[in-house]
Amino acid sequence: MNSRPADTTRAPAPIYQRARAPNAAELADIPWLAALDREERAVAVQDLKVVQIAAGELLCRVGRPVTFWFGVIDGFLKMSNDSELGMPITFTGLPPGGWFGEGTVIKREVYRYNIQAVRTSVAAGLGVDTFHWLLNRSIPFNRFIIQQLNERLGQFIGARETDRMINVDARVARSLGALFHPVLYPGVGGLLRITQQELGYLIGLSRQRVNEALNSLQDKGLIRIEYGGVSVLDLEGLRKVG
């Protein structure tokens, strides 16, 4: 009787089963923790979970009830949904340092968007109940959330304007500028680790057209194309390309 070969193609365990406590380095990358008092920080740290997500894997799915407030520790995620025609619409990219979905958590709604890993990434999550506990107790935490909501509103208004631009170089420049947002994405710094293919997915352009635009922006002294990423030399100039 022949034995069957071992199945090496099994799907990974669900995300919640792979979650673990954050280590010291990961905690240091969470921008709002430092604003909490000793008791608040202890409660938050006890509740926080981190998980590695494979490229293409969904962290949040349309229609699922919210259970965590999420942030990006490492890697790159995207927020998207499908149009009425079934075509994917990307709202924004989510680089390191970015925390998102606070509006959904505040209202305890179901997700109206998908959050998917563009490449292997590490995300952190704070439980909904702990989020509301901090919201009811901590003035600094409230300030952080209000600032997040305000900056995110400005970001989406800017994205609406960018989507209507005919000038491709300007679309790439404005989209890059949005990903170097110092408040929403403090973990990016001066170098965004993103491939031209990934940037094309976010903007809705081919890799070849993104490459042309990046070279044009580099020639203008606004950016420098690095191995595996892009450095911004003039953020204000990048945001004013039109």
Name the pTM for this structure: 0.82
Question: What pLDDT, on the 0 to 100 scale, is given for residue 167?
Answer: 84
- The single-letter DSSP state of residue 14 is P
- Domain architecture of the chain: domains with CATH: 15-156 (2.60.120.10), 166-239 (1.10.10.10)
Nearest Cα residue to 134 out of 46, 219, 8 = 46
Contacts with 93 (C-beta within 8 Å, 6 or more apart), sequence order: 76, 77, 78, 79, 118, 179, 194, 198, 202
Task: Give me the tens of pLDDT residue by residue for the chain, a chain 242 residues long.
Answer: 455 555 555 667 888 889 999 999 999 999 999 999 999 999 999 999 999 999 999 999 999 999 999 999 999 999 988 755 556 677 888 999 999 999 999 999 999 999 999 999 999 999 999 999 999 999 999 999 999 999 988 877 777 776 666 788 988 998 888 888 888 998 888 888 888 888 888 888 889 999 999 999 999 999 999 988 999 999 889 888 87
Nearest Cα residue to 99 out of 185, 188, 194, 189 = 185
Nearest Cα residue to 77 out of 184, 236, 222 = 184
Question: What pLDDT, on the 0 to 100 scale, is given for residue 219?
Answer: 95
- Residue ranges of alpha helices (H) inside the chain are 15-18, 24-28, 38-47, 102-107, 128-137, 139-163, 168-179, 196-203, 207-219, 235-239
Question: What pLDDT, on the 0 to 100 scale, is given for residue 115?
Answer: 95
Question: What pLDDT, on the 0 to 100 scale, is given for residue 1?
Answer: 41
- The single-letter DSSP state of residue 201 is H
Q: Are 230 and 176 in contact (CB under 8 A)?
A: yes
Question: What pLDDT, on the 0 to 100 scale, is given for residue 86?
Answer: 59
